[in-house]
Structure 1
Amino acid sequence: MTPSAPAPTLAFVESPVQLLNVLEWAHAQRTGLLGAVPRQPARGTGARPTAAAAAAATAGAPAVRIVVLPPTDPMSRGQLRRMAGLARDEGHQVSWQEARGGRLAPVRALIALAREVRAARRVVLGDPFSRYVQLLLTLVRAEELVVVDDGTATMEFVAQTARGERLVRWHRVGGGGLPGRLRELAYAPVSATARHRFTPGPGSGRRVEVFTSMPVTAHGAMTVRLNDFAWTRSRFGPPRLTRGTDLVGTSLVETGVVDADRYRDAVRALTLEHGVTRYFAHRRESPEKLRALSEATGLEIVRPDLPLELIARRGPVGRTIVSFPSTVVHTLPYALIGTGVTVAVCDVDPGWLTPAASERARGFLAGVTDTARDVHRLPAQAAPAAG
């Protein structure tokens, strides 16, 4: 449903994590502007705030209208619907706009959103690499753009804009032959406009803010604000801790970076060495891969219904959480401050990578591990590849 009056702040999200980080940004805006102290929930609870509490918490908060542009996979859509419920409980307006699923869907969505995009005074978005978001940016007149985390891709976004490069996802390997190159050529003006929006020149009056948990450095007219998951910590937990170790799954196999057999062997080795009992699946991991992992390791496979930061904060959660290089090695230490949980990261051995994995992917994964704060680092030998 289109609101009667355009909101001064308009947010576009395409994943559950992006929506969580919009809530974190709105909370930071509120507490930073008003000097409010986040309320503390009852110990060990994971309940949503009451309607009265939500109304009180959002008093004076910036008006945020959140537009969900959902992907097609069921896991992401389910998590997004649950996150939308939390956002509404916080007093934000959330709408669902299908922009995929047919050749005309993007065009219909663009027409439906055009008026609001042009009228918004501030635009918040979670995936600057998204072609649909970049298309929306051609309509933006707002003087302020805010980029919230969509995971470790934020690191690459800041680095690429600093170097004036084309915005390309770090794990993308190219291809597509002549048709693919022609599509890239046709899309080039849109991509160039997006890059220009994210790198305003001096005196332009436009501002770009990156709200992030990632270790990045501002450049040019960009400012960086820390996302320390204050909203998550104020709303949920602290969690009850179990005696076992939890392992966080990754979609590196699905993106073509890591070999599936090597990944399975690494998970099996970590399970034996660290007493892992549960495997928290990434929302993009395939059912076939998860079934093979379960059969090879005996692990309990958990498909979270919310982003892992919320799942871990609500608990129960292991005293140790092990992850491969991914977003959570940067976000979980913030979300779990003071809980006694140890976050450990296992390096990806170069031998696990597929032939299609680029040198850029190798360096990026190493950087994710090297820059993680407050985590215990496990050598790749802890999860050796099969001989």
Structure 2
Amino acid sequence: MTSAPPATPSHLAFVESPVQLLNVLEWACHAGRPDLLVVVLSPTDPMSRGQLRRMARLARDEGYAVRWQEARGGRGALPRALRDLAPALLRAERVVVGDPFSRYVQLLLTLFGPRAVTVVDDGTATMEFAAQLTRGERLVRWHRRGRARDARELALAPVTALARRRLAPGRGRAVEIFTALPVEAPEGATVTANRFAWTRARFGPPRLTWGADLVGTSLVETGVVDPDRYTGAVAALAAAHGATRYFAHRRESVEKLHRIAVETGLEIVRPDLPLELIARRGPIGRTVLSFPSTVVHTLPAALAGTGVTITVCRIAPEWLRETASPRAQGFLAGVAESARSAHGLSLTAA
């Protein structure tokens, strides 16, 4: 029986996605921190909310305090959330964040300067965060197109600049990056490897099926990849590898998934938990195909010793849309190559 959390937790985590909450649990398990309050800054899309509620139940079952904050609940939600969260921020010894690029998290960090900060994975953005921190650049998501900043971004520039300073190592402030991704530690920061010990202890090992499973991505929804090229690539991969199921990303549109189902015959699976837990719980294919994304680094750790083979599917340059950032091709290629070098994964083309 897990002991109840303390009344005034000394460690505070802000999460906005199911994957962030999973990695906060992994960090708390690794660090041995029962004195943790998890604040869910609730998103608006139903898939993310549903997965987050299930992850919140898992966190409570582990004995952690969880607070659900309707941070985007219409007019007045933001100032109300800032007022409600200020006391916890002021007494926290360490703040754990899942998305350093989040405007919401950046705004919260302007309320005070935490003595210690831990950044956990929320996709491949961790790689870009570490690189930008090292180079002293402003925080910008890798898939944002390189253009002049709009009025809203200019208005928030002081907030972003202050948040960046408070996410960087400095006098009296320790910074840790807890990650399953291959990142170089910025000067003054530490990098701790996420081996998914909590996931492996709580779930599985999975039953393996003889077929292959394909992991979806939201690169179409973020304006990086052309939808026709993407659907064609999924069809080609399914035919070449005998894939039968398509595990959808929570941000993939219903229209796109319907098209994939009709044109490829794949069974569309919309997971109710992060894929690392779904795969570990099983059943899962003996071969898992994925486009360059976080899972090509997290699944090898979560599925270690199970016999599952993970293959990375390259993104061809001609798949990219005009709206894609000039950095997109190099970044995605780097994710694929780093997965091969770090985990020995094979690469394939559609």
TM bucket, shorter chain:
over 0.9
Match of 2:346 in 1: 377
Conserved 8 A contact 2:34-2:64: no
Which sections of structure 1, spanning at least 5 residues, go unmatched?
Answer: 31-60
Quote the Cα distance in structure 2 between the aligned partners of 1:4 and 1:25.
Answer: 18
Q: Supply the AA of the counterpart residue of 2:320.
A: L
- Look up the SS of the partner of 2:114 in the other structure: coil
Quote the Cα distance in structure 2 between the aligned partners of 1:72 and 1:215.
Answer: 31
Q: Supply the AA of the counterpart residue of 1:212.
A: T
Give the length in aligned residue pairs. Answer: 344
Conserved 8 A contact 1:241-1:319: yes
Match of 1:288 in 2: 255
1:61-80 to 2 correspondence within 5 Å? 61-80=33-52
TM score, norm. by length of structure 1 = 0.86
TM-aligned CA deviation for residue 378 of structure 1: 2.9
Match of 1:22 in 2: 24
The reply on whether 1:173 has 2:140 as its aligned counterpart is no
Q: Give the RMSD, CA atoms, in angstroms.
A: 1.4
Match of 1:299 in 2: 266
Which sections of structure 2, spanning at least 5 residues, go unmatched?
Answer: none
- Look up the SS of the partner of 2:300 in the other structure: helix
TM-aligned CA deviation for residue 142 of structure 1: 2.6
Conserved 8 A contact 2:311-2:348: no
Percent identity of paired positions between Structure 1 and Structure 2 = 68
The reply on whether 1:342 has 2:309 as its aligned counterpart is yes
Q: Supply the AA of the counterpart residue of 2:164.
A: R
Match of 2:97 in 1: 125
TM-aligned CA deviation for residue 289 of structure 1: 0.3
Q: Supply the AA of the counterpart residue of 2:52.
A: L
TM-aligned CA deviation for residue 174 of structure 1: 5.9
Equivalent residue for 1:225, pick from 186, 192, 200: 192
Match of 2:285 in 1: 318
The reply on whether 1:187 has 2:156 as its aligned counterpart is yes
State the structure with more CA Rg.
1
Quote the Cα distance in structure 2 between the aligned partners of 1:132 and 1:235.
Answer: 31
TM-aligned CA deviation for residue 103 of structure 1: 3.7
Match of 2:132 in 1: 160
Quote the Cα distance in structure 2 between the aligned partners of 1:27 and 1:78.
Answer: 24
Quote the Cα distance in structure 2 between the aligned partners of 1:278 and 1:375.
Answer: 24
Decide which moves more: 280-289 or 186-195. 186-195
TM-aligned CA deviation for residue 131 of structure 1: 0.2
Change (3 A) 1:269 1:375: farther
Q: Supply the AA of the counterpart residue of 1:133.
A: V
Q: Which runs of 4+ in 1 moved over 4 A?
A: none
Equivalent residue for 2:66, pick from 78, 89, 94: 94
Decide which moves more: 309-318 or 100-109. 100-109
Q: Supply the AA of the counterpart residue of 2:20.
A: Q
Quote the Cα distance in structure 2 between the aligned partners of 1:107 and 1:263.
Answer: 41
